[in-house]
A and B are shown apart, each in its own frame.
Chain A
Amino acid sequence: KAGVTQTPRYLIKTRGQQVTLSCSPISGHRSVSWYQQTPGQGLQFLFEYFSETQRNKGNFPGRFSGRQFSNSRSEMNVSTLELGDSALYLCASSPTDNTEAFFGQGTRLTVV
């Protein structure tokens, strides 16, 4: 069974630009969550999608958005990038609620 796949693995963007990250969950998993990981803050929850609906949302500005498609693949978008958005963005999928989360390897975003 293929794991959670995130693309791209690395990205360098300029301030003010926008970026789209992609996550393909494990087949059959309907819940997809996104996290931002920085050295000082650990794993910060961005949002969770379940069956194409945003079910939970963290405390991030509206520049951060996401969506989930009918095949459970998910994208997150960050507009008007700021230097502080530089981080490792992790996607995790779960088969059902309150069970193990399977993480992708992440997308390392650097904003210059």
Chain B
Amino acid sequence: GENVEQHPSTLSVQEGDSAVIKCTYSDSASNYFPWYKQELGKGSQLIIDIRSNVGEKKDQRIAVTLNKTAKHFSLHITETQPEDSAVYFCAASKGGSYIPTFGRGTSLIVHP
């Protein structure tokens, strides 16, 4: 089955710095890679996703890059703000009836 590794488990940055979270996956058939942000008391929400026919996707301060050959994808947050502090989960999915496999999460702390 699919295996998703996520690093780092904790990331501490100063406000205004950039943050990068990396995930690797094992199943080359995976073709959908979402990122979720989990805030205390607010549940988890999709913040950005990418499909395997795209190498990079950007939405304001958030971007995701995908390297299919190396089987890794990364979340980039620029100009971090304290409200970016949360747990971020990556996932890999291959469509059909397969359920997505999640990474273990990264706790991002942005210090004002």
Contact = CB atoms under 8 A, between A and B. Distances in A.
Contacts, number: 57
Interface residues of A, number: 24
Given A101-B34, A103-B45, A45 B103 contact: no
A33 interface: yes
A41 B104 contact: yes
A88 B104 CA distance: 14
B42 interface: yes
Q: Which DSSP category, helix, strand, loop or mixed, fits chain A's interface?
A: strand
B101 A45 contact: yes
B99 A56 contact: yes
Interface of B: 6, 31-32, 34, 36, 38, 41-46, 49, 89, 93-105
18 contacts: A33-B99, A41-B104, A42-B103, A42-B105, A43-B89, A43-B102, A45-B99, A48-B99, A90-B43, A97-B96, A97-B97, A98-B31, A98-B95, A98-B98, A100-B34, A100-B49, A103-B43, A104-B43
Interface of A: 3-4, 33, 35, 41-43, 45, 48, 50, 55-56, 90, 92, 97-106
